[in-house]
Amino acid sequence: MLTAAVALRSLEERTVAVDARKRARWTLLATSFGLSMALLDMTAVNVAVPSIQAGLNTDVLGLSWVIDGYTLTFASLLLLSGGLGDRLGAKRLFLSGLVVFTVASAACGFAPGLDTLVFARIVQGAGAAMFMPSSLAILREAYPHAKERAHAIGIWSALTAIAGACGPLFGGALVASLGWRSIFLLNLPVGIVAVPMVVRFVRPSPAGARRGFDLPAQIAGAFALALLTWALIERSAFGWSSPRILLALVASAGALLAFLELERRSPNPILPLQLFANRTFSATASAALLYAGGFFGSVLVFSIYFQSLRGDSPIRAGLHMAAVTISFGLTSVVAGRFAGRYGTRMPILVGLSLLAAGALLFASLAQETSFALLALPLVLIGTGAGLVAPSMNAAILASVPPALSGIGAGVLNASRQVGTALGVAVFASLFHSSAPMTAVRTSLVSAGVLYLVALGLSLRAHGHAPAAAPGRVQLLEVVDH
């Protein structure tokens, strides 16, 4: 009898273990599915920009809000999502964000005009800020053992990197065959499949420490970003001396000062200012902002250049831009492991140098240059970004205590989103005030300058940044927008 009882218990334990592994695999699939949808959408939208402009009969300035409406909301809410995760649980936050993102995608696809599209993109950004950061928390709970968790996060990183790399090509094919609205409407079936998977297989998160919400600081920070971005976009239409532009800049500065003061006094700051006392942390966060401004602003410029100036079809433009995203994806896999083992300083410096060289080389080429020659600067830019992005992740994680790694990662991602919003705003405004090819060259030269300034900041970062633990680096090894 005793032997039978032991055998029965052993069978039950094995059954539970098999069920747990099965649930974990489905959890990995569900989170990767949802995250890949968002990354595919973000990278595909860049290829659709000229088609959206023609379809809605708007100019480049109005079009820039299609990207910045999303990016600003995402950046503003990213740091707050940690507190929401504590209160709601990672599963509930992920599920809520996924539903919001899917519904907003439908609104984007059926938008009758620019205003509706921008508003829907703002809601999309809010949904992405809810579910994208919480996907890692879900995986940490689904895979409690470090070795299995590292393997799962590696798969998660690879799937999301592939989605980001395929975005321009996939988006170009969709726009060419079904029109720009299909970029957003494709998210409907994906969301409809992903939501039940999350409900069925993702376990509810255990209750964590409930952090307070620093809502006034959140509002002040969002206003500072929005007003600055509006001024940068609209200054080419009104001029720097326009009272409305000057008022927006003054109000933005005031909102920023209010944000910093509120954060200094808050017992639960969304942006712990003491982290910036660390030289490596502050230099890396600042360099990330400059890198993102140059890189993602350039992606918008490439889309306009290939389709509006060279007359390429969306799918051909996607093929050309895939030179950047594919080289980015391939390099980032190697760079993340290298940074985790040998340190971050060298790949960051080499990557920023390649980015600057690629941007300046592209700016020097003629409009009619063959793609065989254009491919070189595009690959240099993609390879440089692939070296920089995961290495900055590692540098941030190595510069903060493990208990603050989540906050450090949030600051880095927020820096990138702010840089993206500002880069898109400035580069888009150049097309309003300059001839198209002049705007392309000015944008790429400006990107090169941003990379060189980021390089200078990285050189000044204290000493040789230590290598981060490989497991911690892997947590952030993902294509960022």
- How many domains in the chain? 3
Looking at the fold, whether 233 and 347 belong to one and the same domain comes out as: no
**Is residue 208 assigned to a domain?**
no
Q: Which two tokens stand for residue 257?
A: 């000062």
Q: What percent of the chain has pLDDT over 90?
A: 21
pLDDT at 480 over 60: no
Is residue 160 within 8 A of residue 477, CB to CB? The reply is: no
pLDDT at residue 321 in the model? 87
CB 34 within 8 A of CB 98: yes
| Residue matched to tokens 């799937």 | 159
* 331 and 259 co-located in one domain: no
**Same domain, yes or no, for 302 and 390?**
yes
Q: Do residue 110 and residue 236 come from a single domain?
A: no
Rounded distance, CA 332 to CA 324, Å? 12
Whether residues 364 and 227 share a domain: the answer is no
Domain boundary among 202, 231, 254: 202
Question: What's the pLDDT band for 14 if we cut at 50, 70, 90?
Answer: very low
Segments forming the whole domain that contains residue 179 = 1-202
Q: Judge if 235 and 369 occupy the same domain.
A: no
pLDDT averaged over the chain?
80
Greatest extent of the chain over all pairs of C-alpha atoms, in Å: 91
**Secondary structure of residue 102 in the 3-state scheme:** helix
Identify the sign of the CA torsion 151, 152, 155, 160: negative
Distance (Å, whole) CA 112 – CA 278: 48
Taking residues 445-473, what's their average pLDDT? Answer: 73
Residues 53, 140, single domain; the answer is yes
- Answer with the residue of higher pLDDT: 102 or 16: 102
Residue 279 has pLDDT above 70, yes or no: yes
* Residue 425: CA count within 13 A, CB half-sphere: 23
- Residues contacting 369, CB < 8 A, separation 6+: none
Q: How large is the average pLDDT for residues 374-383?
A: 94
On whether the CB atoms of residues 382 and 325 are closer than 8 A, the answer is yes
452 and 364 fall within a common domain: yes
CATH number of the domain encompassing residue 81: 1.20.1250.20
Closest listed residue to residue 413, CA positions, set 129, 93, 101: 129
What pLDDT does residue 154 have?
Answer: 64
C-alpha 341/C-alpha 152 separation (Å) is 20
CB 349 within 8 A of CB 459: yes
User: Between helices 2-56 and 60-78, what is the axis angle to 10°?
Assistant: 150
